[in-house]
Structure 1
Amino acid sequence: MKLIPALIACVIVCNAAIAQGFSDSEPRVKTANGIVEGVNSSGISIFKGMPYAAPPVGPLRWREPQAVKSWTGIRKADRFGSRAMQTQVFGDMVFRSDSISEDCLYLNVWTPAKSPSDRLPVLVYFYGGGFVAGDGSEPRYDGENMARKGIVSVTVNYRLGIFGFYAHPGLSKESTHQGSGNYGLMDQAAALQWVNKNIAAFGGDPSKVTIAGESAGSISVSAQMASPLSKGLFARAIGESGSVLGTLSAVPLSVGEQRGVEFAKTTGVSALEDLRKIPADKLLALAATFNPFRFPITVDGRFFPKDPFEIFRQGEQAKVPLLAGWNSQEMSYQALVGNEKPTVESYKKAVQKAYGENATEVLQVYQAASDQQVEQVATDLAGDRFIGFSTWKWISMHRKAGSKQVYRYLYARPRPALRKGKPDATDKGAVHSAEIEYAMGNLPLNNVFDWQPEDYKVSVILQTYFVNFISTGDPNGFGLPLWPDVGTSENVNLMVIDSDTKLIQDKNAARYNLLDRMLKK
C-alpha cells in the first residue's frame, strides 16, 4: 500500500492533463435526432436531459419505448429531465431534477473529450431504488469526477413501479410478443441503443461501454446481461449489491398478470383504455396504496425469453468481464431478530420462524456459540438473504459459464460520523449503498457525513479500480493491491475494500451453497 500516495498524485496530474473537453463554452453535439447544446464545467462538457425515447404517455403508457422524434434547430441540454413517477420511499435520495413526470425517458452525459475522435471508454450507470424510486440526477451518481478520469459517463432515467413493471393479460394480448411488464428494463436497453448510436459524437467509444449500477441498478445490469435486447451493446459489467438471480427475481408472466388484475380491481376500471386515462399522479397514489413493490419483473417472452436463471445456467448471457460484490453490512441484525435483544435464544427463534424445517441446517452454518457472536452472525445472515447471496449467485453462474475475467469484492469501509450538529453514525460495517460516493469519486457532493482523509484514500482506491476496469476490463493498475480474478477453486479470490485494502481467500462458501440449495432454482 506504500504506492497509494503516488497513485493519488498521479490522479491529480492526470486530471489536470485531460480536463479540457470540447473547446466551446457552450459545447454542441449533433446526435442522430438533432443538435444538443450543453454546458462546460472547467473542461468537462455536460449534457443533461437528452431524450432517448419518446415520452411514454397516453397510448404509449405500458408499451415498449418508442423512437425519439427528431428536432430542428438547437435543443438546450442544460437541465436534468424530469424524474420518473415515484413516491418518497428512501430518505437518502437527493434529486437535482426540478420535476416529476411520466415523461421521464432522458439521459445525461459528462465527457472530457476534446473531439469526437477521442474514442474514450464509456460508463452507463443505472440508479438503485428497488425499481420504485431513484433518478439519474442524484449527486452520488454525478459523472463529472469520472469524466475527469477520462471516462465518458452516462446516467439514465427509466420507468418505475406501476409505470415500469405493470403486467396485465390485456397488455400481453395487445403486444407483439404476447407478454407484458419490464418496461423499465426495456427503457434501459433503449438507452443502450442510444449510446451505441450517439456516444461517438461525445468522444466515447461504443465498443468500450461498461454498464454499472447499485442495488436495483445492479439487478438491472445482471438483467441486461441476460436479455437479447442488449446483446452486443456493452463490453463490461459492474454490479454493486444485487442480481436478478435471487433478489427481485423474475416471476412467471402469469403471476405478474394476476397481480395486474388485482390492482385493476382497486381502480374501479378494468378496460386498458380507461386505465391509460387515469392521471399519472392518481395512478401513482393508487399503486402506493396497493403496494408499489408488488409489480415484479416478469418472464415476458421478449426482454426475458425465459427465466434468467435458465439463461445463465445455459451460458446464454453476455460473455463480458464482470466486476461485482456487496457490502459488509447490507442489512442489520434487527432485520432478523427484530427488537429482541440479540441473544442465542432470540436468534434461534428468529431463524426457526424464518426457515421452518431448514432452520437446523441454517443454524449449523450460521452458527452463534454465544450471545456476543449473535449480532455479527445475524447481520451476516440478514445481509446474505437480502442481497449478498444473489450477487454471489450471479458471480458463480457467470464464472461457471466460462468467463475468465470475473472479479469479486467485499466493501467494508463504514461511513464516518455525521457532520456536526447531527447524531453520530452507529454503523459497524458498510451499509447498503454506502460505497456509491466512494466508487464515483463523489464524497464532496454528500455533506451528510464528516468525511475523513481515510475516506478519500478508500475512494481513490475503489474509483481507480473501477476506472481501470471500465477502461480495460481489468481493475489492476499502478499503485493498487493486485486483484486477480476469482479463480476456479471453491475458496475464491476476494478483494476487501477498506482503509487496508487487501486480497483474501473467501471462506464462506458453505453459507452461499446452503442458500443456493434452499433456492431450488
Structure 2
Amino acid sequence: MRTYFTFLTLLIFMISSATAQNNPQVKISNGALEGTFNVATGVNSFKGIPYALPPVGDLRWKEPQPAANWTGVLKADHFSHMAMQKRVYSDMIFRADTMSEDCLYLNVWVPAKQSAKKLPVLVYFYGGGFVSGDGSEPRYDGESMAQKGIIAITVNYRLGIFGFFAHPELTKESAHHASGNYGLLDQNAALRWVQANIAAFGGDPKLVTIAGESAGSISVSAQMASPLSKDLINGAIGESGAMIKPTTPPMSLADGEQNGVNVATNLKANSLAELRAISADQLLDYAAKPGNFRLSATVDGYFLPKTPAAIFAAGEQAHVPLLVGWNSTEVPYQAFTGGDMPTPENYAAKVKQQFGDNAAEVLKLYPGSTQEEVIKSATALASDRFIAYSTWKWADLQAKTGTKPVYRYVFSCPRPPEVHGGSTFTKLPPAMVGASHASEIEFAMGNLQYDKVYAWTADDYKVSATMQNYFANFIKTGNPNGGGLPVWTPNTNGSPVNFININIDTKLQPETDGGRYLFLDKFYSK
C-alpha cells in the first residue's frame, strides 16, 4: 500500500511538473509573467497583466501611473477585476468574476510557435457606452486572432464617473491642467505599455493596430485624434462609432468642470479628499441614476486639444490606414417612431416634429409612402442619427485629410434565430431585418463558437471567416485584401466611394446613401 501511494505521489508530481514546464514565461519591464498554453489551439495567453497602478485612493481621477515592479513570477492565468459598472447590457457575458476600481489590466494572446519575424499586434477596446464592458468578454477573445499569427490584446479601462469625471480642482492639481478623460488616458497608457513590452512576446511595436466596437470604436477615433497616441499606432479599425456629433462629441473642459461641481454639490463633498473618500459603490450608485452625471469626454487641452472632428478636418490625426464601417440595422425603426404605428401619416408627422423646416428634404432622402417603406426609412434614419453618420463622417474626414487608404464596410448579415431548450425561435420584431448594433463582433474576431445564444449556421461561419480574414490581413499589412477574398478597394480623396457589403454574398458596392450623410452633415454642422 505504501508503495502504491509513493508511486501515486510521484506520478502527480511528474504531471504537475510537466504542466508547469509547459506554461509559458515572459520577462517584461515590471517582472516575470507565467501564462497558460492551450495545446488544442497552439496559443499562449497571459491574462490580468497590470499596465498601470490601481487608480484608487489618491489616484482616483488621476492620469494612470506606471505599474509597480514585482519580484518572482506573476501568475497571469486568470482575468483580473472588471471596471466599476452596473449590469446595463444583457448581451454582455464576463469571464472575470470580480469588479473593482483596481481595473487597469490587459490580456495577451500569442501564437506559441516562435516566428522568425516579429508579429503584428491587435489592441482591442471593448464597447459598452463607456459605462459597461470588460476585456474578458468571450466575443473579444484573442485566441482565434492569435491562430492567424497575430498578437491580440484586450484592455480594461475606467468607465462612467470613474473614467470621465472633470472638476476645477482636478484640473488645478493636474500637471497638464486637464481633467475628465481618464478612461481614454488609460487606453493611451496601454498603448505605451505595448510599445515598451510587446517585443518580449515576439511582437512588433511598429505594427500595432487598434480596434474597437461602439464605445471601443469611438475610443479608436479619439486615440487617432490625440497627440498622445497618434504616433503609437500603425493602423485603426472602427466598428460603429466615432467621437463626432451627434454620437458622443466631447464637451468643453469648462462644461465638464461644471458637471463635476454639480456632482460634488449633490454628494455634499466639499473637497477632492472628500470626493475620493466616497466609496466606489456609492459613486457608482449615484452616477447610475438618470440625470445625476453627464458622461462625456472633454476637450481638455491635453489628450484632446480640439474636438476630434476639428483635428481630423485639419489633418492633424494619425495618418494610418483605417478600416471602418457600421451595421445595416444598427437600431430598429421604433428608435425614431417611438410607440406610434409605422404609418405614412405618423412617420411624416414625426419627421416634421423632429426636423421642422427640413422635413421635406428628410422625406425625400428617407421616403415613407407605405408602411414597408416607413419601416425601412425610419430604421435607416434612426441608425444614421444614432451612430452610422458619425462613423461615415470619420471615414469621410480621414479620406479627405489623411494620407493612407480608408476601407469602408457595411455589415449586413443578420443573426440567426436564438437557441432555446434544444429548439430555435425568433424573438426579433419584423423591423430588425439586417445586422443590429454589436452583432458583428463575434464574426470579426472569429468567436461565434463562444456565443451559445444563437443557432449559428454554416453560412454564418462562412461570413465570419470572410470578415475575420479581412481584419487579419489589414492588421498584418494595412490592406484587407488577399487570400481569395472579394476585392475591397479603398476610398481616397476624390475617388469613387465604395464599400464592401459583408454578408453571405460579400461584394463591393458603390455608395448610394451619400445624400443622406451629406444632409445630416449639413444638419449637424450648424
TM-score (norm 2): 0.93
Displacement of 1:290 in angstroms is 4.8
Q: Which residue of 1 aligns with 2:284?
A: 284
CA distance in 2, matches of 1:448, 1:301: 44
Paired residues of 1:114 and 1:203 also in contact (CA < 8 A): no
Deviation string, structure 1 residues 431-485 (Cα, Å, up to 9, x no partner): 0000000000000000000000000000000000000000000000022100010
Paired residues of 1:181 and 1:300 also in contact (CA < 8 A): yes
SS of the aligned residue for 2:74 comes to strand
CA distance in 2, matches of 1:202, 1:85: 29
1:28 to 12, 25, 29: 25
Q: Which residue of 1 aligns with 2:519?
A: 514
- Which 5+ residue runs of structure 2 have no aligned equivalent? 1-18
- Structure 1 residues 57 and 290: alpha-carbon distance in aligned structure 2, compared to 1, 3 A threshold: farther
In the TM superposition, 1:280-429 aligns within 5 A as 280-291=280-291, 294-421=294-421, 423-426=425-428, 427-429=432-434
SS of the aligned residue for 1:249 comes to coil
CA distance in 2, matches of 1:284, 1:518: 35
Paired residues of 1:212 and 1:218 also in contact (CA < 8 A): yes
SS of the aligned residue for 1:107 comes to strand
Q: Which residue of 1 aligns with 2:35?
A: 38
Q: What is the identity, as a one-letter code, of the residue corresponding to 2:205?
A: P
Deviation string, structure 1 residues 297-340 (Cα, Å, up to 9, x no partner): 10011100122121111100000000000000001100011121
Q: Which residue of 2 aligns with 1:6?
A: none
Matching of residue 458 in structure 1 with residue 463 in structure 2 = yes
Paired residues of 2:84 and 2:101 also in contact (CA < 8 A): yes
Q: Which residue of 1 aligns with 2:250?
A: 250
Q: What is the identity, as a one-letter code, of the residue corresponding to 1:83?
A: M
Report the more deviating stretch, 302-311 or 346-355.
Answer: 346-355
SS of the aligned residue for 1:228 comes to coil
SS of the aligned residue for 1:261 comes to helix
- Structure 1 residues 116 and 177: alpha-carbon distance in aligned structure 2, compared to 1, 3 A threshold: farther
Matching of residue 445 in structure 1 with residue 450 in structure 2 = yes
Paired residues of 2:253 and 2:299 also in contact (CA < 8 A): yes
Report the more deviating stretch, 99-108 or 301-310.
Answer: 301-310
Displacement of 1:423 in angstroms is 3.9
Displacement of 1:273 in angstroms is 0.8
Paired residues of 2:263 and 2:293 also in contact (CA < 8 A): no
Q: Which residue of 2 aligns with 1:14?
A: none
- Which 5+ residue runs of structure 1 have no aligned equivalent? 1-21
Paired residues of 1:144 and 1:153 also in contact (CA < 8 A): yes
- Structure 1 residues 292 and 198: alpha-carbon distance in aligned structure 2, compared to 1, 3 A threshold: farther
- Structure 1 residues 438 and 335: alpha-carbon distance in aligned structure 2, compared to 1, 3 A threshold: same
Q: Which residue of 2 aligns with 1:474?
A: 479
Q: Which residue of 2 aligns with 1:86?
A: 85
Displacement of 1:489 in angstroms is 4.6
Paired residues of 2:123 and 2:152 also in contact (CA < 8 A): yes
CA distance in 2, matches of 1:326, 1:464: 18
Displacement of 1:291 in angstroms is 4.5
SS of the aligned residue for 2:385 comes to helix
SS of the aligned residue for 1:93 comes to coil
CA distance in 2, matches of 1:370, 1:487: 37
Matching of residue 233 in structure 1 with residue 238 in structure 2 = no
Q: Which residue of 1 aligns with 2:156?
A: 157
Deviation string, structure 1 residues 375-426 (Cα, Å, up to 9, x no partner): 0000000000000000000000001013331100000000000013364142
- Structure 1 residues 163 and 154: alpha-carbon distance in aligned structure 2, compared to 1, 3 A threshold: same
CA distance in 1, matches of 2:312, 2:103: 31
CA distance in 2, matches of 1:270, 1:161: 21
Q: Which residue of 2 aligns with 1:10?
A: none
Matching of residue 185 in structure 1 with residue 181 in structure 2 = no
Report the more deviating stretch, 135-144 or 369-378.
Answer: 369-378
- Structure 1 residues 112 and 442: alpha-carbon distance in aligned structure 2, compared to 1, 3 A threshold: same
Deviation string, structure 1 residues 33-56 (Cα, Å, up to 9, x no partner): 000100001221100000000000
SS of the aligned residue for 1:419 comes to strand
Matching of residue 498 in structure 1 with residue 498 in structure 2 = no
- Structure 1 residues 278 and 383: alpha-carbon distance in aligned structure 2, compared to 1, 3 A threshold: same
Displacement of 1:265 in angstroms is 1.8
Q: Report the identity percentage.
A: 56
CA distance in 2, matches of 1:385, 1:292: 25
Q: Which residue of 2 aligns with 1:486?
A: 491
Paired residues of 2:34 and 2:75 also in contact (CA < 8 A): yes
CA distance in 2, matches of 1:136, 1:395: 26
Q: Which residue of 2 aligns with 1:119?
A: 118
How many residue pairs get aligned? The number is 500
Report the more deviating stretch, 357-366 or 375-384.
Answer: 357-366
Paired residues of 1:491 and 1:509 also in contact (CA < 8 A): no
Report the more deviating stretch, 366-375 or 164-173.
Answer: 366-375
SS of the aligned residue for 1:367 comes to coil
Which of these two proteins has the greater Rg computed from alpha carbons?
A: 2
